[in-house]
Amino acid sequence: AQKVTQAQTEISVVEKEDVTLDCVYETRDTTYYLFWYKQPPSGELVFLIRRNSFDEQNEISGRYSWNFQKSTSSFNFTITASQVVDSAVYFCALSEADYGQNFVFGPGTRLSVLP
Amino acid sequence: DTEVTQTPKHLVMGMTNKKSLKCEQHMGHRAMYWYKQKAKKPPELMFVYSYEKLSINESVPSRFSPECPNSSLLNLHLHALQPEDSALYLCASSQSGTSGTDTQYFGPGTRLTVL
């Protein structure tokens, strides 16, 4: 069965600090995709990244970076020099190639960036 | 352009009312989704439409009735709801009508309150 764990329920940091959000997943499939979404207080889920199981290269996009490690089934997300606008709930999600159109979302991590 | 629009933004209804939620996308996506999200929880999949046909119904009560009039529109008809149905209802779309691993793009949601 698919499963996504985000062990950090809530994190608070002071602006300009770096913060890492953890995501650990379980799957029996060899082909799968991992996603990160941001949900600000307005409610909309904003897509951040999609990564397939065959691409373990780390990715950097501005202040955001992602570390994918199949050996530990983790797909962690780091925000460098955090800003107040980064305050949101962040969801990690898993989709298996053979499982149809169903994402499995983690429980989310609420990040508060304090000025 | 990765915009999914939803109307209304907020809806308050009584348990005997009939109302509809509307979702629209003009990205040429062939799959559309309804999710329900309770406070402090991840989104839960309700329905999936692929090529305008219902492909997944996650055992949703019949008081929720989806409809896909065309490839750009998705409706959710509501009737005889219960107070526990109060939640944020999110619509999403993805490019492929057959792959479960495409990125899903979400709308801003409709915040529903059932009195």
The C-alpha atoms of residue B41 and residue B35 are separated, in whole angstroms, by: 12
Q: Does residue B92 belong to the interface with chain A, where contact is any CB pair within 8 Å? A: yes
pLDDT above 70 (res A99)? no
- Cα nearest neighbour of A91 on chain B: B42
**Residues listed for chain B:** 115
Tokens of B65: 């009735």
Instruction: Give how far A16 is from chain B: nearest CA, Å.
Output: 26
Tell me the percentage of chain A whose pLDDT exceeds 90.
Answer: 79
Instruction: Give how far B68 is from chain A: nearest CA, Å.
Output: 17
- B19 CB-contact burial (10 Å; exposed 0-12 / middle 13-18 / buried 19+): middle
CA dist list (Å): A87 to A46, A112, B16, B68: 13, 5, 38, 35
pLDDT at A105 (0 to 100): 95
pLDDT at A101 (0 to 100): 62
Candidate from A33, A47, A101 with C-beta closest to B31: A101
The C-alpha atoms of residue A62 and residue B102 are separated, in whole angstroms, by: 23
The C-alpha atoms of residue A98 and residue B72 are separated, in whole angstroms, by: 26
Tokens of B42: 């991840």
Candidate from A44, A45, A95 with C-beta closest to B100: A95
**Under a CB-based contact definition with an 8 Å cutoff, are residues B105 and B92 in contact?**
yes
pLDDT at A59 (0 to 100): 87
The C-alpha atoms of residue A78 and residue A81 are separated, in whole angstroms, by: 10
* Average pLDDT, 10 consecutive residues per value, chain B (115 residues): 89 93 95 95 94 90 95 95 96 85 93 96
Indicate yes or no: CB of A103 within 8 angstroms of CB of B45: yes
The per-residue pLDDT for range A57-95, each reduced to its tens digit, is 888 899 999 999 999 999 999 999 999 999 999 999 999
pLDDT at B28 (0 to 100): 92
- Cα nearest neighbour of B96 on chain A: A101
Candidate from B55, B103, B107 with C-beta closest to A44: B107
Which residues of chain B are within 8 Å of residue A99 when distances are taken between CB atoms?
Answer: 100
User: For all residues of chain A together, what is the average pLDDT?
Assistant: 93
Tell me the average pLDDT across A95-101: 73
